[in-house]
Amino acid sequence: MAQNIKDKVVVIAGASSGLGAETARQLVKEGARVVLGARRIDRLKELAAELSLSDEAVFQVDVTDRNQVKAFVNHAVAVRGRIDVLLNNAGLMPHSPLERLKIDDWERMIDVNLKGVLFGIAAALPHMQNQKSGHIINTSSVAGHQVRPGGVVYSATKHAVRVISEGLRQEVKPYNIRSTIISPGAVKTELADHISEPDIAKGIKDFYENYAVPADSFARCVMFAISQPEDVDINEILFRPTAQQL
């Protein structure tokens, strides 16, 4: 699995916890040169210290601000010399039924889950086009494949990520750029902590306690996609805990 990972420059948005943090841990073990971005700079610094990374490997970024995302990617290129992989991983999941009209939550999901991915693509694509190489990995979800009551807007954003990723795949062929969508099922992260509705939060947390798999399951999928030879483009990975039915 580790071949073709050593010395690659991997830029991770949403790296302060969960999927992003665990992916950073696994990539560093295999010799990747990571640059970590997230809003919570204190968490990033803790992770960098754990991984023995220098200060230049962390960057405070709010993915809803396109200028900050551009600065983040430009910083990575400045300190590492190039960008081989961008992992768009920042996400929110404040579930609620539509009738409760949690419009602020809807807007936050659209801004982070959808616009954040687009801003990441916009920041990385010019560098990758100039290099004539690169790999953009976008985090979707099982919810991007099917919708359930209470998760309508979240599913909409994650389905949109799949649409954008497939369109990107088709458009970047002249530049030798690869693209991957990873759609996890229940994985142990902080996503359930974003749910403000107590009844919905309890149901989701109970489900995760019973079924969720560790975050390294996602990290292994990222590494599988990255580790392929340059002529192999892993376009989509959908995975669930073995016990998860939906």
Catalogue the active-site residues.
Answer: 154
Q: What is the distance, to the nearest Å, from the Cα of residue 217 to the centroid of all Cα atoms in its chain?
A: 14
Separation of alpha carbons 59 and 68, rounded Å: 10
All residues at 6 or more sequence positions from 232 whose CB lies less than 8 Å from its CB, including other chains: none
Nearest of 26, 36, 122 to residue 80 by alpha carbon:
36
Q: Which tokens in the block code for residue 237?
A: 């990975």
Separation of alpha carbons 43 and 133, rounded Å: 31
Residue 163 sits at the vertex; the CA angle it makes with 193 and 76, to the nearest 5 degrees, is 65
Closest by CA position to 33, among listed 68, 71, 79: 79
Instruction: Identify which of 37, 38, 30 has the alpha carbon closest to the alpha carbon of residue 8.
Output: 30
Residue 74 CA to its chain's centroid (Å): 18
Residue 167, CA distances (Å) to 22, 48, 230, 241, 242 in order: 28, 34, 20, 28, 30
